[in-house]
């Protein structure tokens, strides 16, 4: 064994710090921008809440779809590092385009609208190349079976949430000032963060992101055709994909709402491909069925959870008492609460599962608990607005408590579900079943936008016959929706455990 490998046995490879920093600055960019997106749409571009919510849903939905394509291209043609750098540069470019959009909206409204869709389209495309390629390399830094891998992923997860906590605070401070013309500084901050992420990759990746035998990770795959890595072809493909994503976002939000149908059809098609494969054993098919079942329930969780960037931002802006006397808390700050709570509580939950030992609940039971905690969070905030006039602002304690309950729910559901997919997927269909997980997240984000568009805002809205006249009615929709999903998943737990063949 080489001395360099021995020397890292007690600590972690330096490559982990490189990946940590790269991901942290990218999450700063994503969550910072997400925190102010609907505020920029409604306060600067003067779109109504319905349109703003639908843009939010389509944008975040597409953000979860593009990693399927980006991951495929990276695995076969570009390698992880090239994909991360081009994806990061595209996302930085997207933020700078949005900076110009936010600078010109008062004098050149039509140009500003074109720049807005262009900026978001570039962000969607860049995310597709960036997102799936970072986390894939964390485990590759260590020898097979190394006990440090779990703690490495915990450290990496903290990096995600440090970025997720700082991004909305910085972007909120510089952009969400009460003066709509200042939103441009939030986009500029996001773009700069993205450039820092790319610089970290460019300068430190080849020096430190190494496997246990000191080979650089994430380089171009050995059998990749040379044509795929020719700079002119790389640029051409990025321009083509960006144009497709800009059009995809514009068409879904302004012409015809097609994305919902794609997100239903895709898992049905994947299911058909897998279940019609005669080479798969009965046990393997049962395990695949568990993945599909769990992914279905995940849609209910994230569609309610992701209100954080849409309806809950409207609520923080309009109906939350944010004036502390010496400082008015920007509405966008509340978007950082989830990440702050994750950093605080993730070690507690990790300790709790270990402490329970043999009494530790099964994965489906934990996920059911996650949905129940989400339902409780909405019940908490529903009590906060019960019998309160729309013109009355309520205490921040209601949002603070709700986000805490939602984070506990996330810690029961998100890492558990991801681990379950990895564990149950047959090797032959591992990537395709990870795609099902991504599709569930994409569908949930699209649905989050649709549900946020039902925000009452002085009008009566309805969902499947249920009428909502005020915020209490609106929050109860999520209480009932996630509560029923939690109960159903709990009822199915025994059956799912049997099908998992553990």
The answer to whether residue 479 scores a pLDDT higher than 90 is yes
The residue with greater pLDDT, 186 or 5, is 186
Instruction: Output the six-digit token pair for 355.
Output: 């402490």
Query: Is CATH 1.20.1250.20 the classification given to domain 258-502?
Result: yes
pLDDT, tens digit, for every residue of 25-70?
999 999 999 999 999 999 999 999 999 999 999 999 999 999 888 8
13-255 and 258-502 share one fold: yes
- The domain defined by 13-255 folds into Growth Hormone; Chain: A; (1.20.1250)
Residues near 72 by beta carbon (within 8 Å), at least 6 away in sequence: 431
Residues near 440 by beta carbon (within 8 Å), at least 6 away in sequence: 267, 295, 296, 298, 299, 302
Q: Where are the alpha helices (DSSP H) in 139-230?
A: 149-175, 183-208
pLDDT, tens digit, for every residue of 357-380?
888 888 889 999 999 999 999 999
Candidate from 78-82, 414-418, 478-482 with smallest mean pLDDT: 414-418
Query: How many Cα atoms within 13 Å fall on the side-chain side of residue 90?
Result: 32
Q: CA torsion, points 323, 313, 242, 159, in degrees to nearest 10? A: 70
pLDDT, tens digit, for every residue of 271-282?
898 888 888 888
Q: What is the largest CA-CA distance in the chain?
A: 70
pLDDT, tens digit, for every residue of 423-440?
888 877 877 888 888 899
The answer to whether residue 268 scores a pLDDT higher than 50 is yes
Candidate from 59-73, 176-190, 294-308 with smallest mean pLDDT: 59-73
226, with CB counted inside 10 A (0-12, 13-18, 19+), is exposed
Summary mean pLDDT of the chain: 90
- Percent of the chain's residues with pLDDT above 70: 98
Residue 27: the pLDDT is 94
The answer to whether residue 473 scores a pLDDT higher than 80 is yes
| Angstrom distance (rounded) from CA 125 to CA 83 | 11
Contact yes or no for 193/23 (Cβ under 8 A):
no
Count of helices and strands (H, E) across the chain? 16, 2
Write the DSSP assignment of 314-343 as a string of letters: HHHHHHB--B-SS-BPPGGGGGGHHHHHHH
List the domain boundaries for the chain.
Answer: 13-255, 258-502
Residue 9: the pLDDT is 60
Q: For the residues 118-132, what does the mean pLDDT come to?
A: 93
List beta partners, residue 463: 466
Residue 184: the pLDDT is 95
Residue 296: the pLDDT is 93
The answer to whether residue 1 scores a pLDDT higher than 50 is no
Contact yes or no for 412/264 (Cβ under 8 A):
no
């Amino acid at each position: 064994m080489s001395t360099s490998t021995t020397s890292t046995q007690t600590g972690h490879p330096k490559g982990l710090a490189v990946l940590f920093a790269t991901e942290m600055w990218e999450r700063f960019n994503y969550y910072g921008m997400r925190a102010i997106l609907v505020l920029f749409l409604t306060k600067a571009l003067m779109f109504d809440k319905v349109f703003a919510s639908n843009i939010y849903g389509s944008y975040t939905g597409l953000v979860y779809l593009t990693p399927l394509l980006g991951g495929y291209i990276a695995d076969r043609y570009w390698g992880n590092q090239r994909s991360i750098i081009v994806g990061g540069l595209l996302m930085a470019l997207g933020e700078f385009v949005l900076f110009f959009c936010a600078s010109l909206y008062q004098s050149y409204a039509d140009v500003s609208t074109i720049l807005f869709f262009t900026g978001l389209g570039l962000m969607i495309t860049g995310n597709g190349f960036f997102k799936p390629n970072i986390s894939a390399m964390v485990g590759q830094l260590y020898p097979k079976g190394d006990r440090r891998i779990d703690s490495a992923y915990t450290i990496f997860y903290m990096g995600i949430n440090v970025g997720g906590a700082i991004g909305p605070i910085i972007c909120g401070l510089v952009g969400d000032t009460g003066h709509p013309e200042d939103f441009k500084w939030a986009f500029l901050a996001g773009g700069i963060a993205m450039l820092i992420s790319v610089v970290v990759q460019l300068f430190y990746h080849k020096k430190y992101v190494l496997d246990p035998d000191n080979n650089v990770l994430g380089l171009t795959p050995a059998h990749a055709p040379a044509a795929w890595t020719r700079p002119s072809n790389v640029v051409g493909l990025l321009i083509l994909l960006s144009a497709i994503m800009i059009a995809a976002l514009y068409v879904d939000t302004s012409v015809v709402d097609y994305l919902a149908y794609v997100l239903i059809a895709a898992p049905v098609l994947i299911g058909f491909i897998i279940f019609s494969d005669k080479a798969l054993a009965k046990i393997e098919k049962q395990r695949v069925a568990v993945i599909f079942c769990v992914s279905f329930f995940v849609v209910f969780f994230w569609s309610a959870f992701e209100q954080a960037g849409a309806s809950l931002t409207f609520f923080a802006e309009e109906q939350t008492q944010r004036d502390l006397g010496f400082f008015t808390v920007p509405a966008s700050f509340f978007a950082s609460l989830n990440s702050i709570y994750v950093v605080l509580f993730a070690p507690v939950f990790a300790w709790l599962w270990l402490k329970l030992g043999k009494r530790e609940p099964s994965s489906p039971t934990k996920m059911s608990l996650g949905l129940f905690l989400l339902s409780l969070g909405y019940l908490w905030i529903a009590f906060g607005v019960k019998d309160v006039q729309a013109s009355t602002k309520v205490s921040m304690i209601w949002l603070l408590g709700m986000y805490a309950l939602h984070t506990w729910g996330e810690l029961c559901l998100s890492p558990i579900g991801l681990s379950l997919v990895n564990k149950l997927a047959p090797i032959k269909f591992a990537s395709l079943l990870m795609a099902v997980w991504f599709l569930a997240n994409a569908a949930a984000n699209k649905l989050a936008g649709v549900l946020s568009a039902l925000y009452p805002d002085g009008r009566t809205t309805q969902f499947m016959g249920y009428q909502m006249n005020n915020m209490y009615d609106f929050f109860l929709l999520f209480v009932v929706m996630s509560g029923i999903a939690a109960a159903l998943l709990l009822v199915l737990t025994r059956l799912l455990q049997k099908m998992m063949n553990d």
